[in-house]
Amino acid sequence: MTTADIEKVMFCDYGLLMPKTSIVKPFSYSASPQRLQSKMLSFKLTTDIIDLLQENGKDSTKGQHGIHLYIANMASVCTERRLNVNASAKLYMPYRLQLKINGALEPTLLQASGMYARPIDVTSLVQQKSDYTNRIDITYMSKHPLIIALILTIQHTPQSLSAHIHKSNLSTVEQVRRQFFKAQSDDDDIIDEGALVNLKCPLGLSRIKAPCRAKQCQHLQCFDCVTFLQFYSKIAQWKCPVCSIAIKSWHDLIADSYFEEILQNTSENDEQVYIDPSGDWKLKKDAENLRISNKEKTNKRPLEVEDVDAVDLSDLSNLRGHGFGRNKQQRTDVVDLTLDSDEDDCEDVDDLPPMTQEEIDMLDELETDEFVLA
């Protein structure tokens, strides 16, 4: 890497600690795997930096400024930049490292391997005077060449970083609607059925006040930004408490205006809302009442009309085989020759029941044998 390339190197965040401005630009140190190397750097603080440092502690909701020494492995930086020219340099700790700031030994350094890499806070040992030349003596042993920078940092509080995210990474109501809800689109990624959403944070189990989620999350459910940052401020690997997807840093978090609008229009006692596919929402209890009402309406069915087989009215004898047509139907009078005249007069023919199909068949047989009376 050229000197110009090295000076453009940006370092990654460390929890809620963010590099802000270089006091001493990144520079390279050669590898020294078998013996200690000593280097010295000197610098003066500008009045602007001094003013920021002196503001520390006056407002607990704002981030606190400091001065940190950052170290990276040059070989790793080169590899990362070949894949992504804008990649941030990961922190690295040489096997042996000792610092003296203005003659005073930095007390927190441990003889540790690279897995314990962290920015080194030298704020308390730096003279905050614009006309004073500060000096840092660096003694190290490393099998890799190093990139070292002295940087003005800001140590955010969860509250201050949440406010910063709301200002810089805000997703508007319209953007959320386009991402999650149907308009005239058939996109499979868009919600095609309603869903219940909790207004309580899955981490703190209290009502969400600063709704946020990760950019890569595919769910509408949010968590509270302040609670999330408090929980993960001391943890290196972050993940979404809803879907467990990896979150690289706070830069991946976005504030959600749509969810914020729901919170503003619900009471502290409301815990869940139902959101339909178009993006309209209602309280869970209202959605349940509407569902019950719709179910009752569905259960009220109209009277069903039973289909009846068609009957050829041109032949009235066909009515004998159906359940209707028993009133004034024409029938054939049959005389039983075994009865005498007295028995014949004892029963009125009109009071006889309709002929059955079996009787009709018998009548057909009699007609064949010419026994029917005219």
Hey, what are 252's tokens? 């991946």
For residue 346, the cross-strand partners are: none
- Contact yes or no for 89/10 (Cβ under 8 A): yes
Strands (E), the chain: 17-29, 32-43, 64-73, 96-101, 104-105, 120-121, 134-142, 146-155, 170-171, 195-198, 211-214, 223-224, 238-239, 246-247, 253-256, 272-275, 281-283
Of the CA atoms within 13 Å of residue 178, those in its CB half-sphere come to 5
Backbone angles phi, psi at 225, to 5 degrees: -65, -45
Does pLDDT of 90 surpass 60?
Answer: yes
Over residues 133-161, mean pLDDT = 93
| 363 CB burial (10 A radius; 0-12, 13-18, 19+) | middle
Q: Please tell me the distance from the alpha carbon of residue 352 to that of residue 329, in angstroms, as a whole number.
A: 12
Say what the pLDDT of residue 201 is.
95
When mean pLDDT is compared across 14-23, 232-241, 304-313, the lowest value belongs to 304-313
CB atoms within 10 A of CB 359: 15
pLDDT per position as a tens digit, 99-144: 999 999 887 775 444 446 789 999 999 999 999 999 999 999 999 9
- Contact yes or no for 41/136 (Cβ under 8 A): yes
pLDDT per position as a tens digit, 181-190: 865 445 444 4
Pairing of strands 120-121, 17-29: unpaired
pLDDT per position as a tens digit, 18-46: 999 999 999 999 999 999 999 999 999 99
Say what the pLDDT of residue 171 is.
93
How many residues can be counted in the chain?
Answer: 374
pLDDT-derived band of residue 306, with 50, 70 and 90 as boundaries?
very low
Across 260-296, b (16+ Cβ under 10 Å) vs e yields bebbeebeeeeeebbbeeebebebbeebeeeeeeeee
DSSP letter, residue 313: T
Does pLDDT of 295 surpass 90?
Answer: no
Q: Please tell me the distance from the alpha carbon of residue 224 to that of residue 208, in angstroms, as a whole number.
A: 5
| Best-predicted range by mean pLDDT (54-58, 91-95, 102-106, 145-149) | 145-149
